[in-house]
Amino acid sequence: MDSVGEEGDDVVTPGEFLGEATEFIAGKGAYISPNGRSIRACLTGRRKVTTAPPGSDDNRSTIEIVGHKAHGAVPQPGTIVIARVTKVMARNASADIMCVDSKAVKEKFSGIIGTPSPF
């Protein structure tokens, strides 16, 4: 997937690994994981890789998700959400996100709330 605008045949889902942050820039529908090393999907759709334009300062390709179903507002790091906790485990909790900022989501989607690592 090195050519401009090439789409993969595989469908990815939220949280799925897309590539390393050293090789790609996170585009629409993708985010850099909290560890800062990997890029993951935040939408369902097909992976699309676009090479950097000639003469660009950053030579990494952009990876994004296309052909996805609109979910309305999608939270980014630092966004305030309203969620209902659905499961509590030792190191994290699962929650159904109902509002992002002040906007209700169009479809139910889940998130995971983690506890800080002691290491």
Residue ranges per structural domain of the chain: 6-66, 81-114
Bridge partners of 94, per DSSP, are 87, 112
CA-wise closest residue to 65 among 80, 86, 51, 50: 50
Q: How does strand 45-50 pair with strand 61-66?
A: antiparallel
pLDDT of residue 7: 59
Instruction: Yes or no: say if 5 and 47 are a contact pair by the CB < 8 Å rule.
Output: no
Q: How does strand 103-114 pair with strand 45-50?
A: unpaired
Q: Which fold has domain 6-66?
A: OB fold (Dihydrolipoamide Acetyltransferase, E2P) (2.40.50)
Q: Classify residue 52 as exposed, middle or buried by CB count within 10 Å of its CB (0-12, 13-18, 19+).
A: middle
The pTM assigned to this predicted structure is 0.53
List per-residue pLDDT tens for the chain, 119 residues long.
444 455 566 788 888 999 999 999 999 889 998 888 999 998 888 899 999 888 888 889 999 998 755 556 677 788 888 889 999 988 889 998 888 887 777 777 788 888 776 65
Q: For the chain, how big is the Rg over CA atoms in Å?
A: 16
pLDDT of residue 6: 57
